[in-house]
Structure 1
């Protein structure tokens, strides 16, 4: 799927945009399922295991920040991860054995849908090595005004900046950090069916959606199978116990086989502790942890 030039660009810059990674049928089915999930949220009055509600959500005007774990909500999302161009890109970059960390569908409502402050995914879930990445599959066209993802090229090879504020892990960097260089940011826009890829250590964020259109992006966060999570990060897997963890690992294997010999590399690790008052989502974490906004 990827050319040698695309692979080299990802290695150097830490991100890619790849066009037409799903079929028109897969795209249409995901759009329809997503519309149905948003419609069903009209009956929800507070965030739960499926929905993160945005400010102003109501039955008349559903406003979401996120649909949680979409690959567990409808088979089409899992199909796209395991049987599409997404899968080919995954294997091109991480090899044949890959594991899902998590999935989420950020819907970013129109007219001020919540920003995601600048951060590095790695700070949330350090592993034994950093062969980790995130896909952002565009379910609708994404343009400059509806809160596109922004990345800073090359930061995957640099330091992991502090994501702490007020003595807790707030899930965002301080925009006054001297190592933060927003003037180098690249905006990732594209047509529906395109996909962004970014390395887990790349600095990225997204501004509020000021358009009259929702910004719907399906995110899969993925690891090479020999990258194992370090105890202490925020993840449900630590509460499963050995038997349930093993069963869960089978469910999260995307391609190939689980790896029982973690590869240990000299990677920078600061544990995401102590937790913010509300760490049920990145939005709540950044808000309750007192993260300073780069978008005000």
Structure 2
């Protein structure tokens, strides 16, 4: 494993990776994460469905990419391992796929061994770093991935935790600038477009708990793909992106899932 040495787990405030784990029914979370998770559920009971829809999108996008010749993946904001993980999906199609996972929560580091069990032909590695430090991510990833060959940059349900003041769009551009032509950007992102009142309340609750929640419009989300060629069917509600590549998530059609997903190719 590469990156900085582990730091103490902060249980004084909720962390998105641990909240995500709670939504998915996992046990690697703390009371502060469950408490905030329950507050989010009170605002929108579809939140656990949204978490599963994001996972399902990642699975389908990875299948599409591996099926189209991509053999390298950089997954930032990995979260606590929930099988199947990205490397398992990719290496089932392309056994020699190389995958670098990256997250900033020490609890993810504690479970990194589960992320590193891949095929004998492939490579999986874990990098402890924050998306707000793209230089550290690039430096670490280059020890495993060949940046002269296409890489799929995966940012699933991550950038809505990075504000405009922190330069969310610039961070993505910085990461993409290191990748060669033929690389891909894979993203999902929460939005307030469909549920403005609930979203406003959720943003305030998360802010009070010390967690940024930057819900972006379809236009703002699409800006992340400026200069890229969007893979058909373009920007979609996540479960409507190539649904034929996976199994539907129970509850995904109960109203609009408030988020967007897309895959774009670097020219």
Output the TM-score relative to the length of structure 2: 0.28
Q: TM-score, normalised by structure 1?
A: 0.26
The structure that has the greater radius of gyration is 1
**Which structure is higher in helix share?**
2
Higher relative contact order (CA 8 A, sep 6+): 1
